[in-house]
Structure 1
Amino acid sequence: MKMIPNLTTEQRREYLERAKAARQRRAAILKGVADGSYSVVDVLNMALEDETVSRMKVFTLLKAAPEYGFARTQQTMKRLHIAESRRIKGLGANQRAALVELFGGAK
Structure 2
Amino acid sequence: MNNTRNLFFITLIIVFTACKNENGYPKAVVDNIVNGCKRQARGNDGGLCDCMAEKVQEKYTYEEFKEVENKMASGKQDKAFMEFAEWAKNECGAEITGD
TM-score, normalized by length of structure 2? 0.34
Q: Which has the higher contact order (CA 8 A, sep 6+)?
A: 2
TM-score, normalized by length of structure 1? 0.32
Q: Is the radius of gyration larger for structure 1 or structure 2?
A: 1
